[in-house]
Amino acid sequence: DVLSSDYHIDRKQIHMIESLGNGQFGEVYRGMLKTAQQLEINIAIKTCKMQDSETTEAFLEEAYVMQKFDHPHIIKLIGVCTEHPVLLIMELARLGELRAYLVANRSDFDVVTLVLYCEQLASALEYLEAKKFVHRDIAARNVLVSNHESIKLADFGLSRQLTLDNAYYKASKGKLPIKWMAPESINFRRFTHLSDVWMFGVCMWEIITMGKKPFQGVANTDVIDQIENGVRLPLPGAYCPKRLFDLLQECWSYEPTNRPSFLQIESCLKSILNEERLNSNS
């Protein structure tokens, strides 16, 4: 894996401002980057606590992946400081994590904005599908909010490999995101574009419920039994467009090949979005 030299950043250009939270490898900060043209850019800075070469390499994997993407709804890699301590510099999403944002602003959301978020994520996932990338951890906790009208997919720590490895188990706080996972991922550790579609269905459900937790109160070990028995997440609310609820059911087809592709999902969401915009104006 190599990083294009365009991405190398001198530490002197970076100014850390405040901590945003803790990531898998270390603290994440908000900061500023001064460009060669003396422009100041808002950035997010990921740090890596452990500095052995194995950890550093695993940490940099996310940068190797992110540099391949250029999409309005995917967080952009700005650069990397490769001298120790290694830093990963990314575009800042000013309003933070989507789930927290949805919960904090419940009373302000209209269906149009919620469907817009789903459509934006679908366009990002369609882009990844075309590039043959499987994300494997699509959930509202991995989506960030830039402004009220724009969300971005983040967290590419898991997206590089198609097979599950030990790093994955250790990765997400020692837990697999069972409640988001497709049955074939739970049963056979099979991750494909079609298992991403299932996960995206759960993520759309989180969005449309404005931050409810899927299968709350159900033990991880019982989730797969429920799915095998045909149980699915409930209708998010009376305000959820019928066509969107139908789309969720399709994403949760037990048989992966019965699920729609991201291309189909995106076009369906565009059409629902147009319909909801017309409804809200009438």
User: Is 157 among the residues that bind ligand ATP (CB under 6 A)?
Assistant: yes
Among positions 9, 14, 20, 81, the unique one binding ligand ATP when judged by CB under 6 A: 20
Beta-sheet strand order (sheet of 27-34) = 14-22, 27-34, 40-47, 87-91, 77-81
**Which CB sits closer to ligand ATP, 140 or 248?**
140
CA angle 180, 117, 219 (to 5 degrees): 20
User: Is 88 among the residues that bind ligand ATP (CB under 6 A)?
Assistant: no
Identity at 98, one-letter amino acid code: L
What's the closest the beta carbon of residue 135 comes to ligand ATP, in angstroms?
12
The verdict on whether 165 is a catalytic residue reads: no
Q: Which among 1, 6, 52, 137 is annotated as catalytic?
A: 137
CA angle 141, 145, 148 (to 5 degrees): 135
Q: Which stretch binds ligand ATP (CB under 6 A): 87-95, 124-132, 177-185, 271-279?
A: 87-95
Q: Are 3 and 67 in contact (CB under 8 A)?
A: yes
**Which CB sits closer to ligand ATP, 93 or 273?**
93
Among 155, 115, 162, 117, CA closest to 138? 155
Q: Each residue of 176-194: b (16+ CB within 10 Å) or e?
A: bbbbbbbbbbbeeebbbbb
Among positions 119, 126, 155, 266, the unique one binding ligand ATP when judged by CB under 6 A: 155
Among positions 33, 60, 75, 134, the unique one binding ligand ATP when judged by CB under 6 A: 75
CB neighbours of residue 241 within 10 Å: 17
Among positions 56, 82, 96, 243, the unique one binding ligand ATP when judged by CB under 6 A: 96
Which residue of the chain is nearest ligand ATP when measured via CB? Answer: 23
Residues 105-144 that bind ligand ATP (CB under 6 A): 144
Among 120, 127, 145, CA closest to 70? 127
Conformational region of residue 148, where left means phi above 0, alpha means psi within -120 to 50, and beta covers everything else: alpha
**Which CB sits closer to ligand ATP, 99 or 259?**
99
**Which CB sits closer to ligand ATP, 196 or 266?**
196
**Which CB sits closer to ligand ATP, 100 or 235?**
100
What's the closest the beta carbon of residue 106 comes to ligand ATP, in angstroms?
19
**Which CB sits closer to ligand ATP, 23 or 201?**
23
Neighbouring residues of 115: CB distance < 8 A, sequence distance ≥ 6: 208, 241, 244, 269, 272, 273, 276
User: Is 65 among the residues that bind ligand ATP (CB under 6 A)?
Assistant: no
User: Is 206 among the residues that bind ligand ATP (CB under 6 A)?
Assistant: no
User: Is 44 among the residues that bind ligand ATP (CB under 6 A)?
Assistant: yes
Distance (Å, whole) CA 276 – CA 282: 10
Q: Which stretch binds ligand ATP (CB under 6 A): 85-93, 196-204, 233-241, 247-255?
A: 85-93
Q: Within the chain, where are the H helices?
A: 53-66, 98-104, 111-130, 166-171, 183-188, 193-208, 220-228, 242-251, 262-281
Positions marked active-site: 137
Contacts to ligand ATP by CB under 6 A: 20-25, 28, 44, 75, 90-93, 96-97, 144, 154-155, 157, 172-173
